Amino acid sequence: MTQTPIKTSTGRTFTHLVSKEGGIKYPLEALNVCEETFSPLEVAYDYDEIRRQVSRETIAAGPNSIWRYKAFLPVESENPIDVGTGMTPLVKSNRLARRLGLKNLYIKNDAVNMPTLSFKDRVVSVALTRARELGFSTVSCASTGNLANSTAAIAAHAGMDCCVFIPADLEAGKIMGTLIYNPTVMAVKGNYDQVNRLCSEVGNSYGWGFVNINLRPYYSEGSKTLGYEVAEQLGWELPDHIVAPLASGSLFTKIYKGFNEFVKVGLVEDKTVRFSGAQAEGCSPIAQAFKEGRDFVTPVKPNTIAKSIAIGNPADGYYALDIARKTNGNIESVTDAEIIEGMKLLAETEGIFTETAGGTTIAVLKKLVEAGKINPDEKTVVYITGNGLKTQEAVQGYIGEPLTIEPKLDSFERALERSRTLERLEWQQASI
């Protein structure tokens, strides 16, 4: 396979890896756990150097992708892998906001992220750029679907070999959306937590770059761009409240880190942003711990249609709990039926077809509003992280059917009359 040669840029802004517990320093290699405490490793930066390199103007003049924030990301290539990832729309919601009784609601729409229609393209663009710098020629991942799509697609673009591991029972769209890029796909007979465990064992012995295992410190930094973009798109200002889905808890903690870094280098004013998280009831270990006031997360066995967020043993659950509590946010869970309603609600009011994870987030947003836990005036951003076309099975049987007609005017008119009658009946039913 041919790969693009790497050009190293000067003025590297990241300095080392550091363990989240104990603060032990590690070199910038493919490492993901602290040897002493087993806690995750984080990338550490030289913020003075970042402050010297960036301003609102330099960012705004950068590429229309996550790489406009390159100084905040752990890569040193001058030519990172840029497939147009990021800078997805931040939509001011009118109809959904009105339906929920909110005055200041925004939707960050990563259902249209490039190239594979989920936020995972952000983390994978960073991970594969770093993998290339560290000399890996084969990349891999343990995935609930979206990550496999993204790793396979971006590896194809970058000319890297790819082997992905997924649970065997994934939605057909997610499997096909990986196979088309022609990686090796291992469909493991087990749930995501079992896939993950297998990969930890494989990762130790094959010398591959596993984006969410040995490359995890670099990979997870890509999610910070969901924080940066929202701040920039709001006119260099932080929101008051964010609502995001929780699977491993990584995305949530990285949006938080992203906001804090923008404050630290003086790009935005400091402000407390409330962080609220969404889980599916069939896999809600973090929401349960939140409700019970625990600071440890007891693993569960997932049983929900929201497969992309069905992680029973969330690695960053502890940190997600901490952030929700210290920012006066909430963590809620919703049933599968509410998730489907959430998907329909977002589609019908905003024209955005999200996957089950997005349905979960919208349903939790609704639940929090109804419980008085979101002030109608708060500038609230809800993160939609994946696309509904990938999980069509979830809504099959819950949405309307096409009206099949003859190619004749009277057939059309009869069908139209019938559909209007049905709509009227539905409306009458709803108002009782």
Partner 1 sequence: MTVKVLVPTPLQKFTNNQATIECDGGNIDQLIDALEKNCPGIKARICDESGQPRRFLNLYVNSEDIRFLEGTNTALSDGDEVSIVPAVAGG
Q: Which residues bind partner 1 (CB under 8 A)?
A: 21, 32-40, 142-144, 146-147, 192-194, 196-197, 199-201, 204-205, 212-213, 216, 219-220, 247-248, 250, 296, 298-299, 301, 308-309, 311, 313-316, 318
Min CB(392)–partner 1 separation in Å: 20
- Judged by CB, which is closer to partner 1: 71, or 311? 311
Min CB(249)–partner 1 separation in Å: 8
Min CB(273)–partner 1 separation in Å: 22
- Judged by CB, which is closer to partner 1: 80, or 249? 249
- Judged by CB, which is closer to partner 1: 7, or 294? 294
- Judged by CB, which is closer to partner 1: 106, or 210? 210
Min CB(206)–partner 1 separation in Å: 12
- Judged by CB, which is closer to partner 1: 296, or 427? 296
Min CB(118)–partner 1 separation in Å: 11
- Judged by CB, which is closer to partner 1: 146, or 380? 146
Residue 362 and residue 343 in contact, taking contact as beta carbons nearer than 8 Å: yes
Min CB(39)–partner 1 separation in Å: 5
- Judged by CB, which is closer to partner 1: 217, or 239? 217
Min CB(193)–partner 1 separation in Å: 8
